[in-house]
Homo-oligomer: A and B are copies of this chain.
Amino acid sequence: MSNQYVLAGDVGGTNLRIAAVDSEGSVVHQENVLTPQTRIASDVVEAISRVAESCIANCGISGRPLAFGLAMATLVNSREGKSLSSPNLPELNGLSVADAISERVGLKVFLENDATAAAIGEHWLGSSREVDNSIFVTLGTGVGGGLILDGRVYRGTDGTAGEIGHINVEREGYPCGCGSRGCVEQYASATAISRIALELSQSDPTSSLAGKGEVSSKGVYDAGKAGDTVGIETFRMMGMYLGIALAGLVDVLNPELIVIGGGAAAGWDLFIEPVREEIAQRAFGPPAKTVRLVRALLGDSAGILGAARVAFDSEPRI
């Protein structure tokens, strides 16, 4: 067993990270590079393959990995190993990424949406261990999600399930990159926090954020923690909208746990009470009482560890 390992990667629009992971979930070796910005699909495939080979050569374990699990910041058809669409990696749209990389590196490759991979990672080693029904929510540039239902990842018909960021929370609300309007992503992502704070600060000259232009979600949080009304109100709104979306999911999926991760989860103490209030007011009593909201434990590693789990699960254990 000791020589058994998998490759696991997490590919976003900015960073490309690949690791060798053992069956306990320990990252034996990891290499990080920048994702090629040429917008040419073969450059991305080439970069992934090159870093993968480098990981195999440098991880210090003899032998080839069992398989290669790859989390990507795109809408993924995991059954076909295809990237379907993404604002971050549009050059991969429609490409059989798993096949293309498999040909290059000679390994079975399994593609997974990054938020779904993070849900799998948290279920394996993080906040939702031993919990049968959980929803993973990631608050980053966008809002993503992954579902663990009845103890297993739920991928849906094509493998695209879990896209909770596009639940509507404001019927004729802010336009979303997905083509709809008023998606929760437009109110609860890091991007949205910056936009909402900018809007609010334009009509509140007393705010410390007034006149500063667009401030990062971290900056908005720091202002809120220092007592700035715009900072506080931004996170209250963000929590309210996130709560509306999650209240619907509580009624529909009756989860035991909602795990919140991603960069903007750092604003937890400013947004979590409004989230809980909306769930308490809007969801049915029994499932609202059942569900617990917790922070993700694995941080940036959740996607890679989930991708590793997918690679292990795809292989018969010997």
The copy count of this chain in the complex is 2
Known contacts A157-B254, A157-B290, A254-B161, A248 near B166 by CB under 8 Å: yes
Q: Is the CB of A168 within 8 A of B166?
A: no
| A157 to B284 CA separation, bound complex (whole angstroms) | 14
Q: Is the CB of A282 within 8 A of B168?
A: yes
Residues of B within 8 A of A85 (CB): 284-286
Shortest Cβ distance from A159 into B: residue: B254
Q: Assess whether A262 is interfacial by the CB under 8 Å rule.
A: no
Shortest Cβ distance from A171 into B: residue: B170
Q: How far is the CB of A188 from chain B (nearest CB, A)?
A: 14
Please count how many residues in chain A sit with their CB below 8 Å of the partner chain's CB atoms: 51
Shortest Cβ distance from A77 into B: residue: B286
Stretch from A51-59, A119-127, A146-154, A306-314 contacting the other chain: A146-154
Interface string of A230-268 (1 = CB under 8 A from B): 000000000000001001110111111000000000000
CB pairs A–B below 8 angstroms (19 shown): A84-B284, A84-B285, A133-B156, A133-B157, A150-B150, A156-B287, A157-B255, A157-B256, A161-B254, A162-B252, A163-B284, A164-B252, A167-B251, A169-B171, A171-B171, A178-B284, A180-B282, A180-B283, A249-B252
Given contacts A132-B157, A166-B282, A168-B248, 19 further A-B contacts (CB under 8 A): A84-B285, A84-B286, A85-B285, A133-B157, A149-B150, A160-B251, A160-B254, A162-B252, A163-B252, A166-B251, A166-B283, A168-B168, A168-B169, A168-B247, A171-B171, A171-B244, A180-B247, A248-B248, A249-B252
**B-binding residues in A (CB < 8 A):** 75, 77, 84-85, 132-133, 145, 147, 149-150, 152, 154-164, 166-171, 178-181, 244, 247-249, 251-256, 281-287, 290-291
